[in-house]
Chains A and B, each alone.
Chain A
């Protein structure tokens, strides 16, 4: 009994911190979402869906698409790190792929804003290389720019997790497949990826949640209509001082990340059960 009490006392500061700094603001923002001028009601949500349904779907589309591309790329990179046969190429790739991890989202947005513009660096290079004519160039500063920014920034993170998991699987399974004549691609898809599936999914879930909360990238690349929910939340507060609808929009994006978080928790439980 006594030990229990001490344990509880020891945990108390941590619990209090979470309650004060995390739960309280969350609850305040949740109740704020239902506060309208006419008292409690769903007015803010009605307005959110009236004005921002396109943006909500647009956000979901961008973030889901980015997550899928990130998964594909991280499997490819981690797969080459695990199965690659040219030690120099593997070493270079290992050194290179982590760079974006250390670059903040706002910097990514700023760099891509000039890189992807119609007459930006990318198109200028393509034109100089004779691949495009100046009239054929298009600006990528729309949903594509946001997806590129997200993929560029988040792929190393997922790759890091996946490559770690791949390094720790039993090499015997790979060697056996190779002895039987399987190609490296087949080994990757049929032997390696299934064994790191859980880690991959966890990485995807964490990336999804991170991308949902990024404001700087949509602001820097494309804050027009349609835009991402985060830009709308910022606009509601900065232009109108309207915290009600901003909170409602926050709740909606929370619902989206919750759905994904449930997947994450389930996976976690499964892992623990093992």
Chain B
């Protein structure tokens, strides 16, 4: 009898509950995204849901990674069930996914859904995605500068242009072929100096006539480039800043803080977000309409967007801006970590000057106009 009992106890602890499932999470982005799911989120989720496991699959960095996820959903459109429970994709690809009906409208079903009030959860580069996405984090570009060399940092694009003219070769950026921080600087330049309305560029609709409005702005940028330094890549700008070869340049905020934390960048360096704003972009959690474990997927996203995880994982570990509203995250965060992230660029700056990228057709048109007019 005793043996039977202990065997039963043993069985009960070993055999997982009936609903045991493997949750598949696919994510675009660098290896750090896969590591984040595997090493941080999965253990917490598996502890809260005994028996269930999480499997993370990376599809590669940059837009190409999200493109692969979109193509995967397209390929599975005819199938009865998708092989994916949760996907993490770039903003640019959420619109097409919603339009083609690949996604589940789930934000209203989870408790953290109401913790996001910003526009980025409603519109994605001109497409209405309200309800279909939960922002995982927001990455933002800003201008990094060396206070030892820049006493009165410029506060707007116009002031940056003047400053760069007065300090030849001290402003550095990576053009448009060396990574997105340079692209973002150029987009901000068009927002600031283009003749059209920047809001149209961000929200659409696309009109060919708009593309004629950038001539003078690009002419000015060409002139600007003669006094600026062109750096080799996102990391190249930070490298040159760290070695004191340039005094100022556009960078990704999370990269900037990570480099500082690793000691690759002096702690004195500072950030600023100039008027009228620079682009940034969120990455979104989405759930396919035909996800094999929809309830579990919602639970997973709920955990990932809970204030605690957003504070510990997103802000503290990766220096990203939280996906949900910052005020909910603040309560879960120690003052030092909060101050670090919002010291230079305040939440008010972010509200005012953090802009989305232009919608895809304008984005491409601006890049090509840059190649034609500035780089040629």
Contacts and interface: CB of A to CB of B under 8 A. Distances in A.
Interface of A: 50-51, 54, 113-114, 117-120, 139, 141, 219-227, 231-232, 235, 238-240
A114 B239 CA distance: 9
Most A CB atoms within 10 A — which of B177, B243, B372?
Answer: B177
Q: Which 5 A-B pairs have the closest CB atoms?
A: A225-B375, A224-B230, A119-B243, A118-B245, A224-B175
A221 B177 CA distance: 12
Interface stretch (B267-275, B316-324, B342-350, B363-371): B363-371
A232 B245 CA distance: 27
Contact of B233 (A118, A120, A223): A223
A117 B376 contact: no
B177 A227 contact: yes
B244 interface: yes
Contact of A238 (B64, B236, B371): B64
A239 B243 contact: no
A221 B232 CA distance: 6
B240 interface: yes
B62 interface: yes
A238 B243 contact: no
Nearest to A231: B177
B222 to A, nearest CB: 10
Contacts of B174: 223-224
Contact of A51 (B239, B240, B243, B376): B376
Given A117-B240, A117-B243, A223 B372 contact: no
A98 to B, nearest CB: 28
B178 interface: yes
A226 B371 CA distance: 10
9 contacts: A50-B372, A113-B232, A118-B240, A223-B175, A224-B178, A224-B375, A232-B177, A239-B176, A240-B364
Contacts of B243: 117-120
Interface string B46-76: 0000000000000000111000000000000
Interface residues of B, number: 26
Contacts of A139: 229, 245
B266 to A, nearest CB: 13
A222 B368 CA distance: 19
Contacts of B367: 239-240
A217 B62 CA distance: 21
A227 B177 CA distance: 10
B364 A220 contact: no
A116 B229 CA distance: 15
A139 B232 CA distance: 12
A122 to B, nearest CB: 13
Nearest to A124: B243
A50 to B, nearest CB: 7
B364 A239 contact: yes
Contacts of A119: 243-245
Given A54-B376, A223-B233, A239-B367, A117 B177 contact: no
Given A51-B372, A240-B368, 8 more contacts: A51-B371, A223-B174, A224-B375, A225-B177, A225-B374, A232-B177, A235-B177, A238-B62
Contact of A225 (B62, B63, B236, B376): B376
Contact of B177 (A54, A113, A141, A224): A224
Nearest to B245: A118
Nearest to A119: B243
B259 to A, nearest CB: 15
A99 B226 CA distance: 39
A113 B229 CA distance: 15
Nearest to B364: A240
A237 to B, nearest CB: 9
Contacts of B230: 222, 224-225
